[in-house]
């Protein structure tokens, strides 16, 4: 009997059930996105949904776009069923086929119900869609990313600010989302000159 218990424990540790989704900092998700939009689903089909854009935060496209439905798995389930009328904030990359796909799957697809986020795992600094969108816009206006965003380990990725460190500090005091993006993704900064250069922590 002990043999079977030991064998079961060995097999159990051999199969890694602790698969974990590779999380990307939102600073990288914002930088990778060709399009960041707020809007609603107008139609859902088997592999994609049609999305009607109400507001552009980054990039431009037609007012209606098609978005690929990413495949759910154990460590990356969908928060809610996709259906017509569902409001989302999307961080999207454009594929070579002209269709869009969410950056890092569930990370790039934020659900909104009654002007509130429903994903309990979102950072608390993403308090509501208005504050969140303002913080994302502030980040886009303040930072440019440099380096290879396709590199899996993001080794040579860094941010360049067009504002001084003092201006950035004041901005972080005015918006909790912006503060989160600066402190949780942009990383340690080296101030040799203005604009400041920010290196991503890995």
Query: What are residue 150's phi and psi, to 5 degrees?
Result: -90, -10
Residues of the chain with pLDDT under 50: 4-18, 188-194
Share of residues in the chain with pLDDT > 70 (%): 82
Are residues 113 and 133 located together in one domain of the fold? no
Residue 141 lies in a domain: yes
Beta strands in the chain (DSSP E): 35-44, 48-58, 64-68, 87-94, 100-102, 109-113, 116-117, 143-146, 158-161, 189-190, 197-199
pLDDT value for 92: 98
Residue 13 lies in a domain: no
Residue 3 lies in a domain: no
Residue 8 lies in a domain: no
Provide the residue range defining the domain that includes 178.
129-199
pLDDT value for 151: 85
pLDDT value for 72: 86
pLDDT in tens, 111-168: 999 999 998 889 999 999 999 999 999 999 999 888 888 888 888 888 889 998 899 9
174 bridge partner residues: none
pLDDT value for 75: 82
């Amino acid at each position: 009997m002990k043999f079977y218990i030991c064998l079961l424990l060995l097999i159990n540790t051999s199969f890694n059930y602790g698969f974990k989704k590779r999380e990307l900092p939102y600073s990288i998700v914002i930088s990778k996105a060709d399009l960041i939009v707020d809007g609603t689903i107008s139609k859902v089909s088997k592999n994609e949904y049609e999305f009607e854009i109400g507001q552009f935060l980054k990039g431009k496209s037609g007012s209606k776009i098609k978005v690929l439905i990413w495949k759910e798995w154990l460590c990356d389930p969908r928060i809610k069923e996709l259906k017509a009328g569902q409001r989302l904030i999307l961080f999207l990359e454009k594929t070579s086929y002209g269709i869009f796909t969410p950056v890092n799957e569930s990370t790039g697809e934020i659900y909104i119900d009654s002007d509130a986020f429903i994903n309990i795992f979102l950072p608390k600094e993403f308090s509501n869609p208005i504050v969140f969108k303002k913080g994302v816009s502030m980040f886009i206006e303040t930072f440019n990313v440099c380096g290879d965003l396709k590199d899996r380990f993001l080794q040579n990725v860094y941010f360049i600010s067009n504002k001084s460190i003092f201006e950035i500090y004041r901005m972080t005091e005015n918006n909790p989302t912006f503060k989160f993006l600066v402190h949780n993704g942009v990383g340690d900064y080296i101030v040799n000159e203005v604009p400041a250069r920010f290196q991503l922590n890995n």
